[in-house]
Chains A and B, each alone.
Chain A
Amino acid sequence: MGSFTLGKYLPLNSCIHKLDPRAKIIAMLIVLIAIFIPAGWLGYGLIALAVISLIFMAKLSLKFVIKAMKPMLFMMVFLLVINILVVKSGTIILSIGSFAIYTDAIIQTLYIVVRLVLMIMITTALTATTKPLDLTLGIEDLLKPFARFKVPSHEIAMLISIALRFIPDLIEETQRIMKAQTSRGVDLKEGKLKEKVMAILSLIVPLFVSAFQRAEDLANAMEARGYAPGATRTRYKVLKMERNDYILLVVSFVLCIALIILAIL
């Protein structure tokens, strides 16, 4: 689990790290929309160029970003298999008896894979350069206009930040319990089905017990410090949009427009 890089924050010093989280979230959303515009390979090339230069500017190594894609590998293979079985158009490239693989299947899968890869790259660029707490601050601010529709923006942000805050703790706890049970002869990798079920049980039960314990402790600590949902409170960190933030927004907007034009042409 130590090599799990999807969604991990990397404390580096780059111009991307210093951007306002709100600008980054909006820019990400715009690029995500752009990815879904069917603008052909030229469009994807354009987005890829933008995303890669962004990663480069954020001083992230490509290795880190590629590592983040590992969990998606299974999904990509799965998509390929499904497409090969379902899509029956285009020309046949390979046929074994009554079974044939069509060019369209490969092309469609490639389209989806490229989209997925780009999406993971852009979200990784966001999470790797933005502290989880800044992210939730940004989300809170962005949700504020929806307060009119009774969206509890602060509560949602608090929920997210608590959840994010406990991820490393829970991972650490899992590893600790795994080690403790391994010391008691649990083998999480090998063994019969019954043993495996037992092994997972020996992991999950203590994890739940301690997670509930933690939740209760946190609730008590928050109450002891006078936390009340919905109360007005000031902030230690006040977000401020600067020139670079606007540049990011403009660039992502222009990219999106360019893709729409490409799609129409």
Chain B
Amino acid sequence: MPIKFEKVSHIYSDGSPFTYTALKEIDLEIIEGKMTAIIGATGSGKSTLVQHLNALLLPTSGKVEVLDRIIASDEKPTKLKSLRKNVGLVFQFPEYQLFEETIIKDVAFGPKNFEFSEEEAIAKAKKALAMVDIDPSYYDKSPLDLSGGQKRRVAIAGILAMDPKVIVLDEPTAGLDPQGAKAIMELFKKLNKEYNKTIIIVSHDMEHVFNYCDDVVVLDHGNVRCHLSVDQFFKDSNWCEQLHIIPPFIIQAKELLKNRGIEITKDIKTVDELAEEIAKKVIK
């Protein structure tokens, strides 16, 4: 069951002097079980787009199909809880949503809201905290005493504990140190591969998009510019140029090698693979 946008527009403060069209008749189909990156400049409508996925925002016109729910502009949706349980949305800087006295209680807050019993919620919270690598000795500490990176991971665990089928993340690595960012991206990849979760991730980091995602959607002034597989997207250097994106390191290296007469056509992701390919060419 794909996630489908059909002619979806979203206009903020329609009919007032502050009116602003964030999405312009978007058609988009995100395939389940994949890890899709949404990229685009500031103000291109990324955050607006992802908030339609769990009906926090409703389309001004058009309709959104998520799992088995259809959210259309002309009817007020009811019983959104099941949708929100299945589509977990992690906002930018999610650490601001922490509020409970202890970490374990805060993470269990989500599942408890979705009608799980106290014990079940705690069990789910423990599982989620283990996933984000928070040591059990922290469980009874206040979430406000943690470091920035730890807070972020606890907040993400708060969504994971709901066990959603689709996980949507709005710039989950913003403001994290490189190691912390890498650990989080690896966690999402694991959730995608091992637990078969559909992951949608808004990102500015091309290295992350290149290394971890399957598909990429480019938004530009409220329009979908393209929707390609990550390999296709970076293979065509025109895209990066047009969108003023600095390509990932490996792609830059390939481009430089090509200019020097060494053309590598195979899709590679790591430095080791690149070295191997170069070795092959050189030995020939």
Contact = CB atoms under 8 A, between A and B. Distances in A.
A209 B95 CA distance: 11
B96 A183 contact: no
Task: Give the most central of B17, B84, B97, B112: most A CB within 10 Å.
Answer: B97
Contacts of B109: 184, 202
Interface in B10-24: 13, 17
A184 B85 CA distance: 8
B201 to A, nearest CB: 15
A180 B159 CA distance: 10
A182 B56 contact: yes
Given A2-B13, A206-B97, A209-B144, A180 B162 contact: no
B89 interface: yes
Contact of A179 (B51, B112, B114): B51
A185 B86 CA distance: 11
Interface residues of A, number: 22
A201 interface: yes
Given A12-B17, A186-B113, A176 B96 contact: yes
Contact of B91 (A2, A176, A185): A176
B258 interface: no
Interface residues of B, number: 26
Task: Give the most central of A10, A184, A205: most B CB within 10 Å.
Answer: A184
Contacts of B8: none
B97 A177 contact: yes
Interface in A193-246: 201-202, 205-206, 209-210
B144 A184 contact: no
B237 to A, nearest CB: 37
B54 A205 contact: no
A153 interface: no
A11 interface: yes
Nearest to B17: A10
Nearest to B95: A206
A187 interface: yes
B113 A185 contact: yes
A205 B99 CA distance: 6
Nearest to A191: B113
A181 interface: yes
A186 B97 CA distance: 12
Contacts of A2: 13
A186 B84 CA distance: 10
A183 B81 contact: no
A188 B81 CA distance: 12
A185 B107 CA distance: 12
22 contacts: A2-B13, A12-B17, A177-B96, A179-B56, A179-B91, A183-B89, A183-B90, A183-B159, A184-B97, A184-B110, A184-B113, A184-B162, A185-B81, A185-B84, A185-B85, A185-B113, A185-B162, A186-B113, A187-B81, A205-B99, A209-B99, A210-B96
Given A180-B89, A184-B113, 16 more contacts: A10-B17, A11-B17, A173-B96, A177-B96, A177-B97, A179-B56, A180-B94, A180-B96, A182-B84, A183-B54, A183-B90, A183-B159, A184-B97, A201-B99, A206-B96, A209-B144
Interface of A: 2, 10-12, 173, 176-177, 179-187, 201-202, 205-206, 209-210
